[in-house]
Amino acid sequence: MDKMTQPLQRTAARKGSNEGRITISDVARAANVSTQTVSRVINNKGEIRPETRQKVLDVIASLGYRPNPLARGLATNRTATIGIVVPDIGNPFFADVVRGAEDIARERGYRIFLANVDQDPDREESTTWAMEDMRVSGILICSPRQPDERLAAMLSRLDRVVLINREYVPGAVGAVRLDDLQASIKATQHSIERGRQQIVLLAGRPGGPAFRTRLQGFREAMAAAGIPVDERQIIFCTSNPEGGYEAADRAFDTLPETDALICFNDLVAIGAMRACADRGIRVPDDVTVTGFGDTILARMVQPSLTTMHQPGRKLGAGGVEMLLQHLLGEAHEPEIVVASKLVIRESAP
Amino acid sequence: MDKMTQPLQRTAARKGSNEGRITISDVARAANVSTQTVSRVINNKGEIRPETRQKVLDVIASLGYRPNPLARGLATNRTATIGIVVPDIGNPFFADVVRGAEDIARERGYRIFLANVDQDPDREESTTWAMEDMRVSGILICSPRQPDERLAAMLSRLDRVVLINREYVPGAVGAVRLDDLQASIKATQHSIERGRQQIVLLAGRPGGPAFRTRLQGFREAMAAAGIPVDERQIIFCTSNPEGGYEAADRAFDTLPETDALICFNDLVAIGAMRACADRGIRVPDDVTVTGFGDTILARMVQPSLTTMHQPGRKLGAGGVEMLLQHLLGEAHEPEIVVASKLVIRESAP
DNA sequence: CTGTTAGCGCTTTCAT
DNA sequence: ATGAAAGCGCTAACAG
């Protein structure tokens, strides 16, 4: 049980005391009221005589009082904080999700507690517990790779979790996600329509639902066009530029006729394009490359990237909104699906 | 935590407040000891008879007890948490800093409380307060743009802050930074040595110290080479691809002879290269482009980016280490300066 | 080595 | 409309 032995160091401070910070009693004393009255004022609860209220507010301002969220949390078992768990802060898509969440959260008086788990399911789980321990009001989880069963197990012990960019799983408050299946279909169709013969899917890491959906969309689009799929056309990769580079490399080794690459995300696509360049393969003439995400880089890289636009900001904002509705007991959809559309640029015109 | 270590116990849900969660008293009762003993066990404090200790640990495990960090924090006025404030989670350099910090923090039993402030000084300040309110053990701040005076003011009201990537300011625990001045000099020198005549600095946003240092290095290198600097060679920009795009555009409008661009960071460089491409300007033949950061993208974009390598991970790790040393009362340097070296790739051979 | 007694700062009953 | 008392779960101080 070493995990819970937490180092609580102390500087030269005396006791666990409050190092001269203003407390609610200080305010109460200075305003000649009880602490409850102060509490009521800062929480806008109950009826308070306007004069009393104003006096308390004045004292608060002049003393520079800031409520102690830990004490509050201990008393109420809740903090005005929303946790966000992202698998990879290096991915601009998640950066957008976070921004969207922050926008709404801030507006509604909540703080964001952001955690990066670097694609590690164990870290994801322990992080989630830690947030729960901190009595966050709710958690947004972007968990593209956690298997359904494990996620369901987590949810069964967790309350108030909104799933970002994955299908609703019972036990969650709800899910806000992109229509990944349609996106995958559209991306594949586009390559088919442009007459590409040997389309390869750089599919991400196997196991997670994102992977499955991409794959399914790919297969469906190919089947609909009557094109048989060789299993070698599906290549696993980590979801970053290196992964894309290696996967594209493998694609060209295995299937030299490859003339289109559908990539798990923009980062993978960038890596794949680099692999093409290093082999003297021209994009888009010899091979077209399609990404997912339409992150800011897509417009900027060369050739610019054809990619499925995925409004991450909307997902984050929608997730927080759903959570807050839930907290307020308001009704809401269990699942919000946001469509993504293809943005055609140079890499796959 | 294991899902099977969850006994169906539920002590009549006291006041519904703690929703049936296990408390230290539950453990104490079940183990026939006082809460104090349990506390000692989980904190590895004081001497405890091994049998007692083991018994407590067993009960903790079987009950699935997890200490309430809020209660702990309230009692000790400290939580085993380190805050990190980054100006822009979309920037891969900061992602690296965060990862480095997480590595060490996790290893030492601390949690990371990450906050994004989107380059907004006000948000930076309020976020910092919120962290302080949460009684974090310390804060790492990456604050490239906050003016010295304002930062100093913040520090005067804050304890235990480590500055990341900026010079030591009195009041801070210390600073861990790159040798930005040398980096800027080296980058400029490289362009000079390769015979570039009209070198333009895309300098970032004015006001912050990062900006100043880049500028100073640029001027010093130019002066050392006896090249006069036209003020139009210094262009402000936001530190993202769009900023780079616009700034490069302006550079070519103003000084058509421009044949080298030194960019505030890799993202700016990517935007600048795109601007070149859109104008039919060849990189590196017509114009060389140099970035800062050597983020993962630098290797992958086309042409690949010559850039100053900045080991973000080291900064984050070093920052946490310095903070922990400080908390333990150990001596440490006030400032750690990490050298960055030029990585030569295609954009400025 | 272990237990007892007080809080930490805030909110929640209940009174008034 | 306001106050008094009683915790929330944990740790600090001082016994023993």
Burial class (CB within 10 angstroms; exposed 0-12, middle 13-18, buried 19+) of A181? middle
DSSP per residue, A58-126: HHHHHHT----HHHHHHHHS--SEEEEEES-TTSHHHHHHHHHHHHHHHHTT-EEEEEE-TT-HHHHHH
User: What local confidence, expressed as pLDDT, does residue B76 receive?
Assistant: 93
Does residue A9 belong to the interface with chain B, where contact is any CB pair within 8 Å? Answer: yes
A12: pLDDT strictly greater than 60: no
Distance between first and last Cα of chain B: 52
Q: How confident is the model at residue B1 (pLDDT cuts 50, 70, 90)?
A: very low
Q: How confident is the model at residue A146 (pLDDT cuts 50, 70, 90)?
A: confident
B12: pLDDT strictly greater than 50: no
B57: pLDDT strictly greater than 90: yes
Please name the residues between 245 and 264 in chain B that touch chain A, using a CB distance below 8 Å: 245
Contact call for A1 and B73, based on CB within 8 A: no
Contact call for B114 and A114, based on CB within 8 A: yes
Rounded to whole angstroms, the Cα distance separating A322 from A267 reads 29
Q: Which residue of B has its CA nearest to A91?
A: B90
User: What local confidence, expressed as pLDDT, does residue A46 receive?
Assistant: 78
How much of chain B, in percent, has pLDDT values that exceed 90? 81
User: What local confidence, expressed as pLDDT, does residue B171 receive?
Assistant: 92
Rounded to whole angstroms, the Cα distance separating A244 from A238 reads 7
User: What local confidence, expressed as pLDDT, does residue A143 receive?
Assistant: 87
B11 touches strand D (CB under 7 A): no
Nearest nucleotide relative to B51: CA against C1'? C1
Most A CBs within 10 Å: which of B77, B127, B265, B282, as the mutation test of the A interface?
A: B77
B268: pLDDT strictly greater than 50: yes
Rounded to whole angstroms, the Cα distance separating A270 from A240 reads 9
DSSP type of residue B131: H
B52 touches strand D (CB under 7 A): no
User: What local confidence, expressed as pLDDT, does residue A18 receive?
Assistant: 57
Nearest-5° angle of CA A334, CA A114, CA A133? 80
Rounded to whole angstroms, the Cα distance separating A72 from B139 reads 22
Q: In this structure, what are the phi and psi dihedrals at residue B66, rounded to the nearest 5 degrees?
A: -130, 125
User: What local confidence, expressed as pLDDT, does residue B296 receive?
Assistant: 87
Rounded to whole angstroms, the Cα distance separating A144 from A166 reads 7
Query: Closest by alpha carbon to A167, among A158, A156, A178, A157?
Result: A178
Strands B199-202 and B341-343: unpaired
Upper half-sphere CA count for residue B296 (Cβ side, 13 Å): 21
Distances (CA, A) of A43 to A39, A55, A72, A84: 6, 15, 11, 25
B13: pLDDT strictly greater than 50: no
Residue range B125-165, pLDDT digits in tens: 999 999 999 999 999 999 888 888 899 999 988 889 999 99
Contact call for B241 and A95, based on CB within 8 A: no
Rounded to whole angstroms, the Cα distance separating B333 from B316 reads 16
Query: Closest by alpha carbon to B272, among B249, B301, B298?
Result: B249
B85: pLDDT strictly greater than 70: yes
What is the overall mean pLDDT for chain B? 90
Residue range B209-250, pLDDT digits in tens: 888 999 999 999 999 999 999 999 999 999 999 999 999 999
User: What local confidence, expressed as pLDDT, does residue B159 receive?
Assistant: 84
B285: pLDDT strictly greater than 90: yes
Three-class SS state of A197: coil
Q: In the sheet where A260-263 sits, what is the strand order? A: A234-235, A199-202, A260-263, A288-293, A306-309, A341-343
Q: How confident is the model at residue B81 (pLDDT cuts 50, 70, 90)?
A: very high
Q: In the sheet where A174-178 sits, what is the strand order? A: A335-338, A174-178, A161-164, A138-142, A81-86, A111-116, B111-116, B81-86, B138-142, B161-164, B174-178, B335-338
Span A175-203, average pLDDT = 95
Query: Closest by alpha carbon to A299, among B68, B241, B300, B216?
Result: B241
Please name the residues between 289 and 328 in chain A that touch chain B, using a CB distance below 8 Å: 296-297, 299-302, 304
B9: pLDDT strictly greater than 60: no
A19: pLDDT strictly greater than 80: no
Beta strands in A179-259 (DSSP E): 199-202, 234-235
A4 touches strand D (CB under 7 A): no
Q: How confident is the model at residue A15 (pLDDT cuts 50, 70, 90)?
A: very low
Distances (CA, A) of B118 to A235, B44, B100, B102, B204: 36, 40, 20, 20, 15
Span B113-135, average pLDDT = 93
Rounded to whole angstroms, the Cα distance separating B76 from B156 reads 23
B8: pLDDT strictly greater than 60: no
User: What local confidence, expressed as pLDDT, does residue A26 receive?
Assistant: 93
B16: pLDDT strictly greater than 70: no
User: What local confidence, expressed as pLDDT, does residue B15 receive?
Assistant: 30
Query: Closest by alpha carbon to A42, among A28, A70, B124?
Result: A28
A9: pLDDT strictly greater than 60: no
B2: pLDDT strictly greater than 50: no
**Closest residue to A240, CB basis, from B1, B245, B296:** B296
- Which residues have C-beta within 8 Å of that of residue B50, sequence separation ≥ 6? none
Where is A29: in which H helix or E strand? helix A24-31
Span A183-210, average pLDDT = 93
Instruction: List the single range of A149-153, A252-256, B270-274, B280-284 with lowest mean pLDDT.
Output: A149-153
- The residue among A12 and A47 whose pLDDT is bigger is A47
Q: How confident is the model at residue B18 (pLDDT cuts 50, 70, 90)?
A: low
Span B329-344, average pLDDT = 94
Instruction: Collect all residues of chain B within an 8 Å Cβ-Cβ radius of residue A67.
Output: 133
Span B12-41, average pLDDT = 78
Strands B260-263 and B199-202: parallel
A100: pLDDT strictly greater than 80: yes
- Which residues have C-beta within 8 Å of that of residue B226, sequence separation ≥ 6? none
Q: How much is the CA Rg of chain B, to the nearest whole Å? A: 26
- The residue among A216 and A11 whose pLDDT is bigger is A216
User: What local confidence, expressed as pLDDT, does residue B17 receive?
Assistant: 41
Distance between A248 CA and the closest CA of chain B, angstroms:
13
Span A156-176, average pLDDT = 93
A16: pLDDT strictly greater than 80: no
Span B91-107, average pLDDT = 93
Q: In this structure, what are the phi and psi dihedrals at residue B174, rounded to the nearest 5 degrees?
A: 170, -175
Q: Is the peptide bond before B284 cis (omega within 30 degrees of 0)?
A: yes
Upper half-sphere CA count for residue B165 (Cβ side, 13 Å): 31
User: What local confidence, expressed as pLDDT, does residue B90 receive?
Assistant: 85
Query: Closest by alpha carbon to B150, among B130, B128, B176?
Result: B128
Rounded to whole angstroms, the Cα distance separating A94 from A115 reads 11
- Amino acid B257 reads E
Instruction: List the single range of A254-258, A327-331, B6-10, B85-89 with lowest mean pLDDT.
Output: B6-10
Contact call for B78 and A9, based on CB within 8 A: yes
B63: pLDDT strictly greater than 90: yes
A18 touches strand D (CB under 7 A): no
A226 touches strand D (CB under 7 A): no
The nucleotides of chain D lying under 7 Å from a protein CB are 1-5, 7-13
Residue range B297-312, pLDDT digits in tens: 899 899 999 999 999 9
**And the tokens for A220?**
């469906």
Angle between helices B50-63 and B35-43 (to 10 degrees): 90
Rounded to whole angstroms, the Cα distance separating A146 from A53 reads 50
Does residue A347 belong to the interface with chain B, where contact is any CB pair within 8 Å? Answer: no
Contact call for A95 and B99, based on CB within 8 A: no
Where is B179: in which H helix or E strand? none
A252: pLDDT strictly greater than 80: yes
User: What local confidence, expressed as pLDDT, does residue A189 receive?
Assistant: 96
Distance between A312 CA and the closest CA of chain B, angstroms:
12
Rounded to whole angstroms, the Cα distance separating B79 from B72 reads 7
B175: pLDDT strictly greater than 70: yes
Q: In the sheet where B341-343 sits, what is the strand order? A: B234-235, B199-202, B260-263, B288-293, B306-309, B341-343
